[in-house]
Amino acid sequence: MLAETWRVKIVIDDDVIIEHQFVRTLKAVKCPLCELDVKREKIFHEDKWFITLRTENLKGHRERIMIVYKEHEHSIPRKLYERGLDIVSKISRNVFSYTPKAVIMDSTFATINDHWHLVVTDLDPTSEDFDQILATQWVTVVDNTAEEAANRVYSSGAV
């Protein structure tokens, strides 16, 4: 398989430098996350590295979102992972304000497992994938019952 390799230095907030070697293969050409039509998607946040949007299949949930790294990578540097997790956590407080808790899940059962992304969902026991959610390892729980969370207001561009 043909591959393209390059090294990148990324500066975040003028003081965090991340160095990473990327390898892009032809596999990325067929990746649905690489081929997102952002004009047709409900976008909650977009920056240089990430896009946060509603998932195509809600699986019976009122809301279901994901954060996607814009480059086709299976894993990303720790600092970018933490940034992505912070972004999606803040957005989730607003998106899932209708429920006490939502979960950010790892990619245990991901349909697309070669492009980094995290999915956030509510814990609706009537959803199509409730048993799968319980079987999936959670990265963290978004707790909207905490007093601190109740006093915050996030708009879609507040990250």
pLDDT tens column, 12-56: 666 555 555 555 544 455 788 888 888 888 999 999 999 999 999
**Domain ranges within the chain, ordered by starting residue:** 32-150
Query: Scanning the structure block, which residue is given the tokens 């809301």?
Result: 63
How many residues belong to the chain? 159
Taking only the tens place, the pLDDT of each residue in 85-122 is 999 999 999 999 999 999 999 887 888 888 999 999 99
User: Is the distance from CB of 136 to CB of 148 less than 8 angstroms?
Assistant: no
47 or 11, higher pLDDT: 47
Q: Is the predicted pLDDT of residue 153 greater than 50, yes or no?
A: no
On the question of pLDDT at 143 being above 80, the answer is yes
Q: How many angstroms separate the CA atoms of 149 and 97, rounded?
A: 9
pLDDT tens by residue, 128-140 = 999 999 999 999 9
Burial classification of residue 150, based on how many CB atoms lie within 10 Å of its CB (0-12 exposed, 13-18 middle, 19 or more buried):
exposed
Task: Pull the structure tokens for residue 140.
Answer: 């963290």
The class of domain 32-150 in CATH terms is alpha beta
